[in-house]
Structure 1
Amino acid sequence: MIERKSGQSLWRQIANNISDAIRSGTYPPGSKLPTEAELSQQYGVNRHTLRRAVSELAEAGVIRVEQGRGSFVQEHVLDYLVAKKTRFSDNVLRQKRTPGGRTLLLTEEVGDPAILKQLGLSRGTHLVRLDRIGEVDGRPISVGSHYFPAARVPGFAELHEELNSITKVLTRLGYGEYTRLETRVTARMPDAEDAEHLQQPRNRPVLVIESINVDPTGMPIEYGVARYAADRFQLVFES
């Protein structure tokens, strides 16, 4: 704990104590720290002293403070490999972490002309649309929409409900060797819905990644646009 006559400031001792607890696994990556009031009581200090310690940890990148939600232990940044065969689950498993996700929307609709153009399809063509949150170790890292030519993916909804994986569905449909044709990356601030899904404040940017995947014959099979939490994720391009 802290010593009031050690010659070291109280806030510095508190910051070091919390850092030690994080390193020991008492507070694992992504976990929420006790509230400001709880920490103040635990260390027997006023909130001003506690806030100084928390501010120091945030500036050092050890924790992140989210307005209205509290303080969280910073996760390890995920290295996301963009290569000929880019697979979300493989990228996560490669770093000995656990992939996951949940479906927000799965429907068939007449495609937006801009999306149909990306897929090389004519106006009025139907698409299967899958909106999904991607997770790493149970924490959301991305939210995105994936579009597939409906005629080329019969039974997609039923297969996805069974397999819960885009790669597994496409493999079952005979497109297991699909590859990445194009990747475009931009950055912007998230809207309110994306910030909520990603569990992050709106003043923290997201990386927007547009991608086109093609089947072995070179025909587009998927167009996707996803927003990734920029502080939990970095792109690595295979040369």
Structure 2
Amino acid sequence: MTGKRTPLWQHISSSLSDDIAAGRYQPGDKLPTEAQLAARFAVNRHTVRHALKDLSDQGMVLSRRGAGVFVTQAPTDYPLGRRVRFHKNIQAAGRLPARRILTRETRAGDAEETTALALPPGAMIHVIEGLSFADETPMAYFRSIFPVDRLPGIAAALEQTNSVTRALATCGVPDYTRTSTRITATRATPSHALHLRCRESDPLLYTRSLSVDPDGAPVEFGNTWYPADRVTLTLDHEEMA
């Protein structure tokens, strides 16, 4: 009498689970495509999808539309304090930081932007938008806004370096501190989903912050969107005091 056969999708799920447990796929790694897995296990793609859904239900993988299926990872702690520096925060977490600028623009600021930066209506601002990475995984989509008249040369400085700290130093701001941060929850737009490799409407953490120079003049109005499953925002009460 033969025993009951294990469903193929369950065999695939178990095999991939073993691969993950053995470290063949690390947290953040992308799994082979459905087509590659179908060839490996000699099954159709529907069976592969069933197996991947099982892994997703167990919390072992996460599907990101248009990007693939990734092994889940523990969220990275990202401290928020008076001196928030992305590269230092990511390095402190033992990961490799990187930043990619997507757009640069000098234009008249809208009412929200000029109010935040204590500028007269219609004052010129320089805006950069881009992505911050940890180990090649996108951790944040950011929009940083700078006052042009207060920071002559900021556009050129930001062209020469991906570091806001170095760019501000070039413009005569040797140090800057964050005076306020507002944190809210939101959902990923189609654009955010594309850039952050997540699904549309996935939960995001959204922060609005203001940084000032040593004299208290605003130098950066920041807007940042973090995938909620990849980042845990933490507060250092001693530094915030």
Which of the five TM-score ranges fits, normalised by the shorter chain? 0.7 to 0.9
Change in Cα spacing, 1:227 to 1:203, as seen in structure 2 (3 Å) is: same
Matched with 2:129 is 131
- With 28-37 and 88-97 compared, the bigger mean Cα shift is at 28-37
SS of the aligned residue for 1:222 comes to: strand
Matched with 1:219 is 217
The alpha carbon displacement at 1:92 in A equals 0.5
Change in Cα spacing, 1:27 to 1:5, as seen in structure 2 (3 Å) is: farther
Within the candidate set 52, 58, 61, 2:59 is matched to 61
The alpha carbon displacement at 1:72 in A equals 1.6
Amino acid at match of 1:120: A
Identical aligned pairs, as a percentage?
35
Unaligned runs of 5+ in 1: none
1:157-197, CA deviations, whole angstroms, 9 ceiling, x for partnerless residues?
Answer: 22222221111212333323211111111122222222111
Contact map agreement 2:173 2:213 (CA 8 A) in 1: yes
CA distance in 2, matches of 1:224, 1:98: 22
Matched with 1:39 is 37
- With 12-21 and 105-114 compared, the bigger mean Cα shift is at 12-21
Matched with 1:176 is 174
1:79 maps to 2:73: no
Matched with 1:154 is 152
Matched with 1:167 is 165
Matched with 1:141 is 139
The alpha carbon displacement at 1:41 in A equals 3.4
- With 211-220 and 52-61 compared, the bigger mean Cα shift is at 52-61
Within the candidate set 223, 228, 231, 2:229 is matched to 231
The alpha carbon displacement at 1:51 in A equals 3.5
SS of the aligned residue for 1:26 comes to: coil
CA distance in 1, matches of 2:213, 2:46: 59
CA distance in 2, matches of 1:67, 1:5: 39
The alpha carbon displacement at 1:70 in A equals 3.1
Change in Cα spacing, 1:50 to 1:129, as seen in structure 2 (3 Å) is: closer
Contact map agreement 2:157 2:171 (CA 8 A) in 1: no
Amino acid at match of 2:185: A
1:41-87, CA deviations, whole angstroms, 9 ceiling, x for partnerless residues?
Answer: 32345555543432221122211123454322224421110011111
CA distance in 1, matches of 2:69, 2:23: 16
CA distance in 2, matches of 1:142, 1:194: 9
Matched with 2:184 is 186
Cα RMSD after superposing both structures: 2.4
CA distance in 2, matches of 1:48, 1:150: 55
The alpha carbon displacement at 1:10 in A equals 5.1
Query: TM-score scaled by structure 1?
Result: 0.88
Change in Cα spacing, 1:225 to 1:67, as seen in structure 2 (3 Å) is: closer
